Amino acid sequence: MKKILFIEDESALQKTFGEIITQEGYQMMSALDGETGLRMAKTKKPDLILLDLILPKIHGFDVLKKLKEENETRDIPVIVLTNLEGLEDVEKALKLGATTYLVKANYSLEELLEKIKKALGEESGTSD
């Protein structure tokens, strides 16, 4: 069973997403802040990370930077899932090594699942 780590401070979103991810046959792991997210990425070795950017303790960009610096987490694909949609944010995330950048408001659950499946299968870099 593939493991997905969701680093997101909104617990309601964690719950909704957890429900759908579990039903699709993945194991969902939750982290409510950047620091916990980084620690879990190292210890739990997920197959994919969904990362929000505005996070308590450590900002999402710093989490992404650290994930891509460490040998043990470098190869885990990271989907940035946020409501920040400035071009500079998208460029920064992709430069730091995010696989895909998704703006929450623009995607339905179904479309998100497709992106997740794609990232787990083929790790191609796209920006949305």
Partner 1 sequence: MGGIIIVSSWAIYVIGNRYIEDPLIIALVVIFITTLLFIIAFIITQSFERLAEASRMKSEFISIVSHQLRSPLSNLKWVVELLMSGKISPVSEKQTEYFKVLKENSERMEELVSDLLTVSRIEQGKLSFQKERISLRDLIEKVIKEVGIFSKASNVEISFNSEENLPQIMVDPDQIKLVIGNLLDNAIRYIKERGKVEIDLKKKNDNLYVEVKDNGIGIPKDDQKYIFQKFFRSANVKRHQTEGSGLGLYIAKSIIKKSGGKMGFQSQEGIGSTFWFTLPIFMK
**For the chain, where are the alpha helices, taking DSSP H only?**
11-23, 34-44, 60-69, 87-96, 109-121
In degrees, rounded to 5, the angle at the alpha carbon of residue 80 between the alpha carbons of residues 38 and 11 is 65
Strands 48-51 and 100-103: unpaired
Tell me if 25 contacts partner 1 by CB under 8 A: no
DSSP at 99? S
The site string for partner 1 over 43-82 (x = CB under 8 A, - otherwise) reads ----------------------------------------
Tell me if 126 contacts partner 1 by CB under 8 A: no
Stretch that binds partner 1, among 9-17, 39-47, 59-67, 118-126 (CB under 8 A): 9-17
Tell me if 87 contacts partner 1 by CB under 8 A: yes
Q: How many CB atoms lie within 10 A of CB 87?
A: 8
Q: Which of 86, 95, 121, 122 binds partner 1 (CB under 8 A)?
A: 86
Residues making contact with partner 1 (CB under 8 A): 10, 12-13, 16-17, 19-20, 23, 83-87, 104-105, 108-110
